Amino acid sequence: MIDRCIIPIMGRMRAQYVKRPDVAALMEKLAYKQAEANNAFGVLRKMFNLAEVWGYRPDGTNPCRHVPMYPPGKETRLIVDDELVRIFRQLETLEAEGRPGT
């Protein structure tokens, strides 16, 4: 995530020089893949929280603060075996009644 999303956009900026517009720009540049933007944002937020703990940034200066994440999309749900069996039974019933593919 860091090598793929954060470094190509933010470069090698020092932690103390990153500002909120830099984080907002990262989110905007990754807008075409919102789930990945949110994941990168989570990593970045944690990095800046740790930067505060380790003394690289003053407390309460996380630039991710007040930068909105994208709304979560619908997750892909896989069909479980029982559901697949029911689907095929229903299809067989429809075919037996002479209504295939309705």
Domain residue ranges of the chain, discontinuous segments joined by +: 2-72
Distance of alpha carbon 7 from alpha carbon 4, whole angstroms: 7
Mean per-residue pLDDT for 41-54?
96
Please report, as a single letter, which amino acid is at residue 9.
I
> Does the pLDDT at position 102 exceed 80?
no
> Does the pLDDT at position 101 exceed 70?
no
Please report, as a single letter, which amino acid is at residue 42.
G
Give the global pTM.
Answer: 0.69
Pair of tokens at residue 75:
């997750």
Mean per-residue pLDDT for 90-95?
91
Nearest one of 40, 37, 18 to 28, comparing CA atoms: 37
